[in-house]
């Protein structure tokens, strides 16, 4: 990590400050005028509350990519893949030209939502419920393997049933080609989504991305009803990485992970998957536990062999042919097939970086620089023997910067987010 730090500090000295670093300089100016008796967290809150989200640089995720509500699932998957996006806003094609943003959009669609929705629809209908012709047609197209691909319990003995040609059948089916994005709007988390106005503060944005477990927050222009920016957890981490050398960041960033309470979980709380489990079981666990990724371990081991994340589910849809030669798509076979595919199609993918870990005595600054440089969403904490001790996500880091003042959101979130306290998305 030291080499990453030296390269970054050298770069900042030789070139003008980036737009993200200029935001950090606003924090620097505000930091110096805060009351001396305030704690560091209270100072961060005060600084970030004073900066509007309109000051956040345009995100590379907000380059105008939107998906029409009448697009097919197949088209949506291709749009996301071609633009290297995990999600995108869905535009209601039936909305009038002068519609507000609430009526203009119906939600945000993502790879994981598409895949999980398809698998749910492909399950055999209950004997007590009316059958769905669409679901029945898809079940035939998928060669009778839909039950194994559903969200029921899957174990190593069922791995052969999740055969390599299942997703080839799925992505060539009429069900997949004809179902529209608007047809799965019931699976969206928000209707249409929780958005910020330009006048809202950085503190509001950072609380939504940390405590309230949102991976991205759209910023809307109330005048034209369009999305002006989309700020992600990764964007915030990149902003922090660009603040190297600033007084406020160095004071906080040079602390060891253990000093600021990271990782937040014990080794016994880490959710893992075994390399011989069906990959669909791994994705099922992530969705059920509301986590974004899990380490892959040997059946009898404590050391992580790799990582699989919820966004990796895209490879089941965009390249189903790569599993054709496997009798079953286990986690191990999935990772091997994806790695081979990326070596030929996207050598810059974070999945080719291997397992990236850190130690409890690393600094928060080193961790931020690693996450930003490697373009990853989590790092696993290991001991000197390589055994897992915890996991740290982007959300964990942001949550260590700010806290929610009493009554900040009023009762807005009461009953809206029934998520477990230990949820880690």
pLDDT tens column, 273-331: 999 998 888 888 887 888 889 999 988 777 888 999 988 988 988 898 888 777 788 99
Q: Which of 396 and 321 is assigned the larger pLDDT?
A: 396
Query: Which among 20-24, 137-141, 175-179 has the top mean pLDDT?
Result: 20-24
Q: pTM for the whole thing? A: 0.84
Q: Domain range spanning residue 277?
A: 255-401
Q: Which residues contact 201 (CB under 8 A, 6 or more apart)?
A: 48, 49, 50, 51, 52, 53
Q: Is 185 part of a structural domain of the chain?
A: no
94: its two tokens: 């039936």
pLDDT for 133: 39
Helix, strand, or coil here: 195? coil
Q: Is 356 part of a structural domain of the chain?
A: yes
Instruction: DSSP letter for 157, please.
Output: G
Q: Which of 13 and 142 is assigned the larger pLDDT?
A: 13
CB–CB of 283/273 below 8 Å?
no
- Cα atoms found within 13 Å of the Cα of residue 398, Cβ hemisphere only: 33
Could you give the CA distance from residue 32 to residue 37 in angstroms, rounded to a whole number? 12
Q: Is 386 part of a structural domain of the chain?
A: yes
Computed over every residue of the chain, the mean pLDDT equals 82
* Average of per-residue pLDDT across 130-147: 37
- b/e map of 370-402 (b: 16 or more CB within 10 Å)? bbbbeebbbbbbbeeeeebbbbbbbbbbbbbbb
DSSP letter for each residue of 56-69 = SPPPTT-SS--EET
What CA–CA distances, in Å, run from 92 to 51, 163, 360?
32, 37, 47
**Percentage of residues of the chain with pLDDT beyond 70:** 80
The number of helix segments (H) and strand segments (E) in the chain equals 17, 12
Q: Which residues contact 67 (CB under 8 A, 6 or more apart)?
A: 75, 76, 79, 80, 88, 89, 90, 91, 109, 181
Report strand pairing: 388-393 vs 226-232: unpaired
Q: Is 294 part of a structural domain of the chain?
A: yes
Report strand pairing: 378-382 vs 357-358: parallel
**Does the pLDDT value for residue 46 go beyond 90?**
yes
Could you give the CA distance from residue 264 to residue 390 in angstroms, rounded to a whole number? 8
Q: Is 410 part of a structural domain of the chain?
A: no
Task: Indicate the burial class of 288 (C-beta count within 10 angstroms; 0-12, 13-18, 19 or more).
Answer: exposed
* Digit-coded pLDDT (tens) for 199-257: 999 999 999 999 998 888 999 988 888 899 999 999 999 999 999 999 999 999 999 99
Q: Which residues contact 174 (CB under 8 A, 6 or more apart)?
A: 137, 138, 141
Q: Is 225 part of a structural domain of the chain?
A: no
Least confident of 109-123, 153-167, 239-253, 323-337: 153-167
Q: Is 137 part of a structural domain of the chain?
A: no
Q: Is 381 part of a structural domain of the chain?
A: yes
Domain count, the chain: 1
Instruction: DSSP letter for 352, please.
Output: G
* Digit-coded pLDDT (tens) for 118-131: 766 655 554 444 44
Q: Which of 310 and 93 is assigned the larger pLDDT?
A: 93
**Does the pLDDT value for residue 420 go beyond 50?**
no
Could you give the CA distance from residue 287 to residue 419 in angstroms, rounded to a whole number? 12
pLDDT for 5: 47
Peptide bond into 192 cis (omega under 30): yes
pLDDT for 9: 47
**What's phi and psi for 296, nearest 5 deg?**
-100, 125
CATH of the domain at 375: 3.10.580.10
**Percentage of residues of the chain with pLDDT beyond 90:** 49
* Average of per-residue pLDDT across 53-73: 87
- b/e map of 22-47 (b: 16 or more CB within 10 Å)? ebbeebbebbeebeeeeeeeebbbbb
Q: Which residues contact 398 (CB under 8 A, 6 or more apart)?
A: 206, 209, 210, 233, 236, 237
């Amino acid at each position: 990590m030291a080499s990453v730090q030296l390269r970054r500090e050298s770069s900042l000295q030789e070139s003008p400050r980036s737009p993200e670093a200029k935001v950090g300089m606003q924090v620097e100016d505000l930091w110096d005028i805060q009351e001396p008796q305030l704690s560091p967290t209270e100072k961060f809150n005060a600084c970030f509350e004073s900066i509007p989200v309109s000051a956040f640089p345009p995100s590379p995720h907000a380059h105008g990519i939107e998906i029409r509500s009448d697009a097919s699932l197949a088209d949506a998957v291709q749009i996301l893949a071609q633009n290297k996006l995990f999600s995108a806003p869905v535009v209601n094609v039936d909305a009038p030209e002068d519609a507000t943003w609430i009526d203009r959009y119906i939600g945000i669609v993502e790879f994981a939502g598409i895949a999980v929705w398809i698998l749910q629809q492909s399950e055999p209908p209950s004997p007590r419920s009316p059958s769905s012709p669409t679901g029945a047609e898809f079940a035939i197209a998928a060669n009778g393997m839909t039950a194994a691909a559903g969200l029921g319990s899957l174990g190593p003995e069922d791995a052969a049933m999740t055969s390599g040609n299942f997703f080839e059948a799925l992505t060539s089916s009429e069900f997949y080609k004809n179902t529209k994005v608007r047809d799965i709007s019931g699976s969206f988390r928000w209707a249409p989504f929780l958005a910020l106005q330009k006048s809202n503060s950085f503190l509001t944005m950072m609380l939504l991305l940390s405590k309230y477990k949102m991976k991205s927050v759209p910023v809307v222009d109330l005048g034209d009803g369009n999305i002006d920016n989309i700020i992600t957890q990764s964007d915030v981490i990149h902003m922090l990485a660009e603040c190297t050398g600033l007084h406020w960041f160095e004071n906080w960033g040079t602390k060891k992970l253990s000093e600021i309470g990271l990782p937040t979980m014990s080794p016994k709380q880490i959710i893992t998957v075994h390399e011989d489990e069906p990959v669909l079981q791994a994705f099922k666990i992530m969705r059920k536990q509301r986590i974004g990724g899990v380490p892959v371990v040997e059946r009898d081991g404590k050391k992580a062999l790799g990582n699989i994340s919820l966004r990796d589910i895209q490879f089941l849809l965009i390249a189903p042919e790569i599993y054709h030669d496997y009798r079953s798509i286990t986690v191990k076979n999935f990772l091997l097939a994806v790695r081979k595919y990326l070596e030929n199609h996207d050598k810059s993918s974070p999945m080719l970086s291997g397992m990236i870990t850190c130690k409890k005595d690393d600094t928060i600054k080193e961790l931020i620089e690693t996450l930003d440089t490697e373009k990853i969403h989590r790092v696993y904490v290991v001991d000197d023997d390589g055994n897992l001790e915890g996991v740290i996500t982007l959300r964990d880091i942001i949550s260590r910067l700010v806290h929610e003042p009493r009554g900040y959101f009023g009762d807005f979130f009461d009953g809206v987010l029934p998520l477990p306290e230990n949820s880690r998305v």
